[in-house]
Structure 1
């Protein structure tokens, strides 16, 4: 199971506009993301990082090629089937926390289950809450929480459905460096201790260092994949990409 791809892209293309305004955000991407791995997606501004994540997660359809989550090809699903897949098999963490301000933390965490008419598994919910250190903040509303605590709620919400893959788009972008390190450690723990797969878009070499591998995009194509991405090596690689 560890060697099975959690997400696979085959010849993935995404084109915006047409004619003179056409932009190839993804240009024939072949990529396999291993199950139970933490993968960082990096590259210069406009390289296609967020587009890759949105297409891999079924948030945005491809213009050509295929995306598989496990063995399911997303292009063969109806919009309703896609919605169910995203709700039950995927988790999402964004730079904006996207919490409902009127709900306490615990209700924000279980919201995906509530919307799907499901009840949380008590043991798993406890494990997730413990992993992100929110035990004493569950009855607080978002306005009563710090930015780091709000992002922990968002991560717990992403994990509560036992997703196969968690997609995180610049999850530390709105946080100070110390809080950002805590969030990255939580994502690392979600992989190591909870057995999830995490795909994280980031531009920070120090963030990529928490991952098992870093995928570098340039002009909508995979330029390189680095195993064990130490921050200094990632920084050197990003500088080299910027000098092209």
Structure 2
């Protein structure tokens, strides 16, 4: 079998870890109505790193929140694997988010009174689940915080706190990690460490990651980028680089400016 045939078979076998179909999200009524998502259909492949990009107000965070079950769609469907989120009652949706999804946000959301180790294992403790010590050891090694386990969040740098948040998102072995601007509060060096960590999670422990970002450098760590504008999916890019993403974003800006002049 030649390389091309293998690549085609591999592409066919990649399943979506999450997806939305004809997703519509409307906020407000009448004159105040805002259509944050306008019939968006997109898949987030399993064991891949997907970045979501677009101008401010394009709907990228709304898309992530609806795909993760943090917000409901006005119309259309959101799936985690084969589970349609809109069909679940609140309690089952809460359990699904706890057991099958990991979250990383711009704000680290660590509990200040808990140690690093306790913050990492918090999702398992809340669920009453047993901590897999081998897996925990692996995660601690991956995030490089073995000498900080007894520290409180206030004793850590911003980058270290976000690495704790990533480990917490991974500890329950979720099907997907959703990250909303995870480097937004970090300097460039700390941000690069966190992005490298998410990349390693995909490459080494076969995690699925979906990340919202406005930063072309951050998007360059992903396997694919999906671009939104005005609540619509307008483009996708495979194997992105920071330069290619930046050029594409400039194209979008130029189109908006041209439309504005014509208007």
Map 1:28-107 → 2, pairs under 5 A? 28-107=39-118
**Match among 122, 131, 144 for residue 155 of structure 2:** 144
Rounded Cα–Cα distance in structure 2 between residues aligned with 1:118 and 1:159 = 14
Shift of 1:242: 1.4
Q: Residue deviations 1:140-195, cap 9 Å, x none?
A: 00011111110010000000000000000010111110111010000000100011
Does the alignment pair 1:226 with 2:249? no
Rounded Cα–Cα distance in structure 1 between residues aligned with 2:242 and 2:167 = 26
Q: Residue deviations 1:90-118, cap 9 Å, x none?
A: 00000100000000000000000011011
Q: Residue deviations 1:199-227, cap 9 Å, x none?
A: 00000000000000000001111100000
Q: Which residue of structure 1 aligns with residue 173 of structure 2?
A: 162
Higher Cα radius of gyration: 2
Tell me the C-alpha RMSD between the 2 structures: 0.9
TM-score by length of 2: 0.92
TM-score by length of 1: 0.99
Is the deviation greater in 36-45 or in 124-133?
124-133
Rounded Cα–Cα distance in structure 2 between residues aligned with 1:126 and 1:85 = 25
Rounded Cα–Cα distance in structure 2 between residues aligned with 1:132 and 1:19 = 48
**Match among 15, 19, 23 for residue 12 of structure 1:** 23
Q: Residue deviations 1:24-59, cap 9 Å, x none?
A: 000001001110000000000000010000000000
- Bigger proportion of residues as helix: 2
Aligned length: 244
Rounded Cα–Cα distance in structure 2 between residues aligned with 1:200 and 1:112 = 20
Structure 1 residue runs of 4 or more that deviate by more than 3 Å after TM superposition = none
Shift of 1:240: 1.2
Q: Which runs of 5+ in 2 are unaligned?
A: 1-9, 257-263
Shift of 1:4: 1.0
**Match among 34, 37, 54 for residue 26 of structure 1:** 37
Shift of 1:8: 1.1
Does the alignment pair 1:215 with 2:226? yes
Q: Which residue of structure 1 aligns with residue 251 of structure 2?
A: 240
Q: Which residue of structure 2 aligns with residue 117 of structure 1?
A: 128
Q: Which runs of 5+ in 1 are unaligned?
A: none
Question: SS where residue 205 of structure 2 aligns?
Answer: coil
